[in-house]
Amino acid sequence: MISSPDNELVRRLRRLASRREPGFAFLEGPRVVAEAAAAGVDLELLAVREGDDFAAEAKHRVTLTRGLFRDVTQTVTPQGVVAIARVTPSTAGEAIGAARRARWPLVVLDRVQDPANVGAICRSAAAAGAAALVVLEGTADPFGAKAVRASAGNVFRLVVSEAGWDDLALLDGYGAAATGGTPLAKAAIENAGMIVLGSEAHGLSRSDLRTVTIPVNDGVESLNVAAAAAVILFEIRRRKAA
């Protein structure tokens, strides 16, 4: 059992909880760790709180005292397990290929800066059946600790890549817009090459995309980007199942 805050593994957990290292991600909570393991992610380190138990294969497994465990976690009520996962980055071409094989639009995040929104979109995308997601410059890291937690570990069920607009040049698609787009019921989103979700503050960074708009009640400006993504993605799922 580890009780010293100066232990090298403890210091590494603290670092990863606040800032991701290339090739690794910090996982917190049994659900997140279980989802990652179920998706085939390799766990470099599994740290369990004293008095708790959690079954998962990992290269290294340690037990931390309750006080020390609380110090390395980010949540107000820690759930007894954290882990360091190995993350192998995919290329934009691999993400595009995965989306095509699944016959699903590629989900594209355009300057979505809030990691909670990025994680929530990853969760909705995986739940709806999307295969792949790419993030453009200015988007929060989908493998950052907060985004992974918001995704409930489902980010690991997607092929995820960084990309630039040049990488997506051959894809047609729709961008989500608060107003002025084709109403959702009339837009052929299920056949699109990509669905682009932009920053709530600045919208889409491209003006030449076809846009789709979710009608909302009078007096309501718009849905937040994570809610809009869920509506669009599950509408695609509904149409594909029809």
Range name among 18-22, 31-35, 88-92 with the lowest pLDDT average = 18-22
d(CA 55, CA 216): 45
Q: Of the given ranges (70-79, 101-110, 116-125), which has the lowest mean pLDDT?
A: 70-79
Q: Hey, what's the torsion of the CAs at 147, 151, 157, 163, to 10 degrees? A: -40
The percentage of the chain sitting over the pLDDT mark of 70, rounded to a whole number, equals 100
Instruction: Tell me the pLDDT band of 117, cut-offs 50, 70 and 90.
Output: very high
Classify domain 92-241 by CATH architecture: 3-Layer(aba) Sandwich (3.40)
Task: Say if residues 165 and 45 touch (Cβ distance below 8 Å).
Answer: no
Task: Give the mean pLDDT of 18-47.
Answer: 93
What are the start and end residues of each CATH 3.40.1280.10 domain in the chain? 92-241
Comparing CA positions, the residue from 191, 192, 176, 184 lying closest to residue 229 is 176
Which residue(s) pair with 203 in the sheet?
A: 199
Percentage of the chain exceeding pLDDT 90: 77
Q: How many CB atoms lie within 10 A of CB 191?
A: 14
Q: Does the pLDDT of residue 74 top 80, yes or no? A: no
- Rounded Cα distance, 141 and 41, in Å: 18
DSSP 111-157: S---HHHHHHHHHHHHHHT--EEEE-TTSPPTTSHHHHHHTTTGGGG
CATH 3.30.1330.30 in the chain, residue ranges: 8-86
User: Domain 8-86: which CATH class?
Assistant: alpha beta
In this predicted structure, the answer to whether residue 201 has a pLDDT above a threshold of 90 is no
Q: Does an H or E element contain 239, and which?
A: helix 225-241
Tell me the DSSP string of 31-51. Answer: HHHHHHHHTTPPEEEEEEETT
- State how far the Cα of 88 lies from the Cα of 226, in Å rounded to an integer: 25
Under DSSP, is residue 57 helix (H, G, I), strand (E, B) or coil?
Answer: coil
Question: Looking at residue 159, what is its pLDDT?
Answer: 98
pLDDT at 62 exceeding the cut of 80: yes
- Helix H or strand E segment including 189: none
* Mean predicted confidence (pLDDT) in 42-69: 92
Residue 165 reports pLDDT greater than 80? yes
pLDDT band at 68 (very low <50, low <70, confident <90, very high): confident
The radius of gyration of the chain's CA atoms, rounded to the nearest angstrom, is 19
- Of 79 and 208, the one with more pLDDT: 208
Q: Which residue has the tokens 């600045």?
A: 202
Mean pLDDT value of segment 159-168: 98
